[in-house]
Amino acid sequence: MAHFNYLPQALQDELASIAQAIIAPGKGILAADESTATIGKRFSGIGLENTEENRRLYRQLLFTADDAVAQNISGVILYEETLYQKTDDGTPFAELLKKKGIIPGIKVDKGVVTLQGTDGESTTQGLDGLAERCAKYKKDGCQFAKWRCVLKIGKDTPSPLAILENANVLARYATICQTNGLVPIVEPEVLPDGDHDLERAQKVTEKVLGAVYKALNDHHVYLEGTLLKPNMVTAGQSCTKTYTHAENARATVQALQRTVPPAVAGVTFLSGGQSEEDASVNLNAINQHPGRKPWALTFSYGRALQASVLKAWGGKPENVKAGQDELQKRAKANGDASLGKYSGGISGAAAAEGLFIKDHAY
């Protein structure tokens, strides 16, 4: 019998409390942790220069939206630059969010790198110095963290090596976060790139999640103080067969039932290049799907909460309110979807636009 120690009870209680607050009924996460390069791509779509001030102005737009947005947004994932930025009146963004009842979180990985000897597969870097960074982020107001790993579906991928390596990296990250009082969001994203069908996507997702939870168990991660951020199970973007939202929901819920322990606090899905409306409707279908679902099933969306915001704002000061109104609409739609109560049809400046980006990197 292997010997190991649980986290101190007080730390377990703190982590579980944070995780439960994030997955409160009708609430989810705004992922605003785009890297400088990625936000530059978003800005280019509206003809806006990628400067630190424009990045600050855009995040200020998001975080100064009407307080009612906190009815559906429980947490915001920040990029490190954003954590240390302030509003026009000098209020740190993290402090502003806390005043609204929104929990600040932080992206802590350092991006994907090629896994040598594989067919273009990757692992995620950033473990060096992570403990010190987590301690600093906790002191500066963050309560949770996010780390993204990426796996691709191909003829011979994901390989056993890629699955194992990424699972172990996620587990090591999770233990470091928890030791420093941060709830880790574990994100093993199976990319939607490819022409694979729904069944293949489900099989791969099950294999990946199974390996992740084996690794989390091996590393003694406290599951009640974690959140999972997986892809929904959908066919590849180039698949010629069309599936219904109900079929996507069935495949997704089955994959989770077969792999995710009920001790896990909640599941906060990534949107994975779906349109804003598809991301909401699929989430709603997942929550309406019959069967045992022992975890909260909610959202942690970036593009699917921000595409209409960016389009309505267009980088113009006079359009800030219009952008904020779009955020509130999409947050409400997804909050309703997390309860299985979204009836569909919320229009927006970019609600139906496809948001897929090939080989998406943050």
d(CA 137, CA 180): 9
Longest dimension (CA), the chain: 65
pLDDT reported for residue 3: 86
**pLDDT confidence of residue 305:** 97
Q: Please, which pLDDT band fits residue 346 given cuts at 50, 70 and 90?
A: confident
Does the structure show a pLDDT above 70 at 353?
Answer: no
Q: C-alpha angle 210/213/216, rounded to 5°? A: 150
Q: What is the pLDDT of residues 146-184, one digit of tens each?
A: 999 999 999 999 999 999 999 999 999 999 999 999 999
**In this predicted model, what pLDDT tens digit does every residue of 100-128 receive, in sequence order?**
999 999 999 999 999 999 999 999 999 99
The three-class DSSP label of residue 47 is coil
User: What pLDDT digit, counting tens, does each position of 182-240 carry?
Assistant: 999 999 999 999 999 999 999 999 999 999 999 999 999 999 999 999 999 999 999 99
Query: Which pLDDT score, from 0 to 100, does residue 7 have?
Result: 97
Provide the annotated active-site residues.
Answer: 187, 229
Query: Which residues neighbour 112 within 8 Å (Cβ) at sequence distance 6 or greater?
Result: 122, 123, 124, 125, 148, 149, 150, 361
Helical H segments across the chain, by residue range: 9-22, 36-44, 52-63, 80-83, 93-99, 130-139, 160-179, 198-218, 245-259, 276-288, 303-313, 320-337
- pLDDT above 70 covers a percentage of the chain that reads 95
With a CB cutoff of 8 Å and minimum separation 6, the contacts of 202 are 233, 251, 252, 254, 255
pLDDT in tens, 135-151: 999 999 999 999 999 99
Report pTM.
Answer: 0.95
* Length of the chain as a residue count: 362
End-to-end CA gap in the chain: 41
- Quote the pLDDT of residue 359: 59
pLDDT bin (cut points 50, 70, 90) of residue 356 is very low
pLDDT at 360: 55
139 vs 1, 82, 129, CA distance in Å? 37, 16, 16
